[in-house]
Amino acid sequence: MNSVAISAFKISASIGNRSILQGIDLQLPAGRWTSIVGPNGAGKSTLLKVLAGLLPRVAVQGDVQLLGRPLAQIPARERARQLAWLGQNEGSADDLTSYDVAMLGRLPHQAWLAPPGTADHAAVEHALRTTQAWDWRHRPLSQLSGGERQRVLLARALAVQAQVLLMDEPLANLDPPHQTDWLHTMRALVDAGGTVVSVLHEVSLALQADDMVVMAQGRVLHQGACDAPETHAALEQVFDRRIHVRHLDGMWMALPSIHRHDNKTKEIDA
């Protein structure tokens, strides 16, 4: 039986008067990789922030549990060791070197004002080598390309060595070979017992996860295995039948359905 890494009960969120998430119940299994997909504005980033405890409490109703404990009751440092976070379009201190940025991931492991120890340096080196960012460890973040920078930020999240890793659009600016590397890294983390939750707009890559959460308009429409026909049906529906899920070269892929996107066709389909 799988245990649950993160549970969400009756989550609603609003910003100002706007309701952004509505009544979300979700259980994300431990030791698996779940991808969250849905159209722009569906509430994916907001949900991920709620799961990480990053939205102000006043904006959120409902409860989140991390590894069986209410998130709100876990002390911040302990939470930061258990749950690593990589946000969408995240900035970082640009004048820091890549090495120092990755070392930020070790802060929750270090005593107050203590210098990094052997384990911290080892974790940072391993993380930077994993994302192939080790070669530019002495360079400031401001001198890197978007994709290079993203790999340093990913290394920072990996350096935490948390049980649960939450990532919002982690593939932004990555070229195809590094996207493939990222898939292998996620698979290795999960094989080692970790839990990965990633918001992805690259649907074909999202289909390489174990499980998928399909969102639209602040709700979860479907949660299921990435290879299940019901999941593929939910995906095609949520993207207005403008993609088709096909099995190609042993993988599930989402292909654009270029002939079917005019309004007339949609009416006939419906």
* Smaller CB separation from Mg ion, 28 or 123: 28
Q: Does 217 bind Mg ion (CB under 5 A)?
A: no
Select from 43-51, 152-160, 176-184, 212-220 the region that touches Mg ion (CB under 5 A). 43-51
Q: Does 45 bind Mg ion (CB under 5 A)?
A: yes
Q: Does 86 bind ligand ADP (CB under 6 A)?
A: no
Out of ligand ADP, Mg ion, none, which partner does residue 15 contact, by CB within 5 to 8 A per kind? ligand ADP
Select from 36-44, 180-188, 205-213, 231-239 the region that touches ligand ADP (CB under 6 A). 36-44
Select from 38-46, 62-70, 89-97, 116-124 the region that touches ligand ADP (CB under 6 A). 38-46
Could you please report the per-residue DSSP string of the chain? -PPEEEEEEEEEEEETTEEEEEEEEEEEETTSEEEEE-STTSSHHHHHHHHHT-S-GGGEEEEEEETTEEGGGS-HHHHHHHEEEE-TT----TTSBHHHHHHHTTGGGSPTTPPP-HHHHHHHHHHHHHTT-GGGTTSBGGGS-HHHHHHHHHHHHHHT--SEEEEESTTTT--HHHHHHHHHHHHHHHHTT-EEEEE-S-HHHHTTSSEEEEEETTEEEEEEETT-HHHHHHHHHHTTT-EEEEEETTEEEEEE-TTS-SHHHHHHH-
Q: Does 263 bind ligand ADP (CB under 6 A)?
A: no
Select from 37-45, 129-137, 138-146, 176-184 the region that touches ligand ADP (CB under 6 A). 37-45
> Least distance from C-beta 254 to Mg ion, angstroms?
18
Q: Under rule CB under 5 A, how many of the chain's residues touch Mg ion? A: 2
- Where do contacts with ligand ADP occur on this chain (CB under 6 A)? 15, 18, 20, 38, 40-46
- Where do contacts with Mg ion occur on this chain (CB under 5 A)? 44-45
